Amino acid sequence: MSATGRVALFREPRHPFDLVEMPVPEPRPGAVVVRVRIANVCGSDLHAWRGDFRLAGLGGKLPTVLGHEMTGTVAALGRGVERDSNGHPLREGDHVVFTYFTGCGNCLSCQRGRRAACDHIDMAMTGNATEWPHFVGGYAEYFYVKPGSTIYKVPLGLPIEIVAGANCALSQVIAGFERASLSFNETVVIQGAGGLGLYATAVAKAFGARLVVVLDAVGDRLAMARRFGADVMINVAEDTDERSRINQIRVLTDGRGADVVMELVGRADIVPEGIRMLAQFGRYVGIGNINAGHSHPFDPSRLVMSNKSMLGVALYEPFTLGKALRFLERNRDRLPLDQLLSAKFPLDQINEAFAQADRRTVVRASLVP
Ligand SMILES: [Zn+2]
Ligand SMILES: [Zn+2]
């Protein structure tokens, strides 16, 4: 481990990132210093960069380091860390995935088994990078994994490009379907075929959904959705009439509507459409709308009179990451998982990576520090 490492400082929204050298911390007991191998540009990084996802609301301080969907290798283990969360021996150089947030384990939420709702949650992208331990986000050469985090050794042979999406996008959609109690033979509609939507398509199939319909405005993304297992794709740029789209879902589900609709776009105006696509007792899962300040009217009688429910899903319980890893291991040869990352950039080209992600010219850009 070198004495210093580079971080891409995020000073304020839409301001270019600055690359600066910071001292690499010695891990305290229970902590792990990871050499970041790849960190993706996820929707929430992009929203934070645009300024419409307010990190301050999560206790965030600037300047910080963005990036949370990542994987890397162990650079240094703190005292007492000998095994991963599966009980497997952990050594320097091992390839690992880890949660980007840590619950305290003691508050009421943690005691109830809801670490994702911890009262003192410690998240990547919220620490002041000018203060110890400096490496508080993924767009840097190192990341400081705090004591109490969940960390798994990655099975040998699983490439970083495939594992990179495990600790955010993939775990997030698994948690979403679990919260919605998706069960065998049910029907699913997915709004949005970006990285999250493609994972969601494959995961819905793995849960045993008999029909998965994916909506997006980009033909190439829909073609990818097919490769991830989508049964039907609807291009909203061609089929511009909301009522006709809702009707298509009815026809495809024997007049009933879908059991689960998952929102992965991050636009308030698509929520009423998704709710109308649901069957009686259908569950609407909201994941993409993390940007505050947007609203769109909807008629609540459509929920009440059809016994529908609406679930907001932020973060996930840490053991979900273990399930994500198993899913990748099982499907590495069956799904085009390596094609989710469409563009890799070295860390010093982070401004270009964000410009391209902002223009949506790439499915998921990633930084390789
Ligand atoms: Zn994310
Ligand atoms: Zn807690």
Q: End of a domain among 293, 312, 331?
A: 312
d(CA 334, CA 158): 14
pLDDT of residue 97: 98
d(CA 51, CA 15): 10
CA of 116 to the centre of ligand 2 (A): 8
* Element at 280 (helix H, strand E): strand 278-286
- Residues 171-195 have a mean pLDDT of 97
Tell me what the pLDDT averaged over the chain comes to: 95
Q: What whole-number percentage of the chain has pLDDT above 70?
A: 100
Is residue 321 included in any domain, yes or no? no
**How sure is the predictor about 331, in pLDDT bands with cuts at 50, 70 and 90?**
very high
Is residue 323 included in any domain, yes or no? no
Is residue 330 included in any domain, yes or no? no
CA of 117 to the centre of ligand 2 (A): 7
Ligand having the closest approach to the CA of 102:
2
Instruction: Extract the tokens encoding 117.
Output: 């709702």
Ligand having the closest approach to the CA of 194:
1
126 and 224, same domain (yes or no):
no
- Residues 337-355 have a mean pLDDT of 92
**Domain, as residue range, for 134:** 4-164+341-368
pLDDT of residue 342: 75
Q: What whole-number percentage of the chain has pLDDT above 90?
A: 88
CA of 133 to the centre of ligand 1 (A): 22
CA of 70 to the centre of ligand 1 (A): 9
Is residue 140 included in any domain, yes or no? yes
Ligand having the closest approach to the CA of 43:
1
Instruction: Extract the tokens encoding 161.
Output: 């490009």
CA of 244 to the centre of ligand 1 (A): 32
d(CA 246, CA 302): 14
pLDDT of residue 157: 87
Q: Which of the pair, 298 or 321, is modelled with greater confidence?
A: 321
- DSSP code at position 7: E
**How sure is the predictor about 293, in pLDDT bands with cuts at 50, 70 and 90?**
confident
CA of 104 to the centre of ligand 2 (A): 4
CA of 196 to the centre of ligand 1 (A): 9
- List, for residues 49-92, the tens digit of each pLDDT value: 998 877 777 778 899 999 999 999 999 999 999 999 999 999 99
CA of 103 to the centre of ligand 1 (A): 17
63 and 197, same domain (yes or no):
no
pLDDT of residue 339: 87
CA of 98 to the centre of ligand 1 (A): 13
Look up the CATH number of the domain holding residue 191. Answer: 3.40.50.720
Ligand having the closest approach to the CA of 108:
2
190 and 72, same domain (yes or no):
no
68 and 191, same domain (yes or no):
no
- Judged against a pLDDT cut of 90, whether residue 285 lies above it is answered with yes
- Judged against a pLDDT cut of 80, whether residue 362 lies above it is answered with no
pLDDT of residue 56: 73
81 and 144, same domain (yes or no):
yes
Is residue 84 included in any domain, yes or no? yes
**How many domains is the chain built from?**
2
Look up the CATH number of the domain holding residue 82. Answer: 3.90.180.10
Is residue 324 included in any domain, yes or no? no
13 and 146, same domain (yes or no):
yes
- Residues 1-16 have a mean pLDDT of 93
pLDDT of residue 251: 98
CA of 124 to the centre of ligand 2 (A): 16
Ligand having the closest approach to the CA of 173:
1
237 and 278, same domain (yes or no):
yes
177 and 215, same domain (yes or no):
yes
CA of 42 to the centre of ligand 1 (A): 5
CA of 186 to the centre of ligand 1 (A): 27
- Residues 210-233 have a mean pLDDT of 96
- List, for residues 231-268, the tens digit of each pLDDT value: 999 999 999 999 999 999 999 999 999 999 999 999 99
360 and 294, same domain (yes or no):
no
183 and 278, same domain (yes or no):
yes
CA of 274 to the centre of ligand 1 (A): 22
- Judged against a pLDDT cut of 90, whether residue 1 lies above it is answered with no
**How sure is the predictor about 25, in pLDDT bands with cuts at 50, 70 and 90?**
very high
156 and 178, same domain (yes or no):
no
pLDDT of residue 341: 81
d(CA 31, CA 115): 18
Ligand having the closest approach to the CA of 115:
2
CA of 109 to the centre of ligand 2 (A): 6
Q: Which of the pair, 298 or 360, is modelled with greater confidence?
A: 298
Is residue 205 included in any domain, yes or no? yes
Comparing CA positions, the residue from 183, 54, 69, 207 lying closest to residue 126 is: 54
φ/ψ of 358, rounded to 5, equals -65, -35
150 and 54, same domain (yes or no):
yes
pLDDT of residue 294: 86
Q: Which residue has the tokens 């890799």?
A: 344
Instruction: Extract the tokens encoding 9.
Output: 């400082």
- List, for residues 134-182, the tens digit of each pLDDT value: 999 999 999 999 999 999 999 988 999 999 999 999 999 999 999 999 9
Looking from the CA of 58 toward its CB, the CA atoms found within 13 Å total 25
- DSSP code at position 316: -
Is residue 256 included in any domain, yes or no? yes
Ligand having the closest approach to the CA of 170:
1
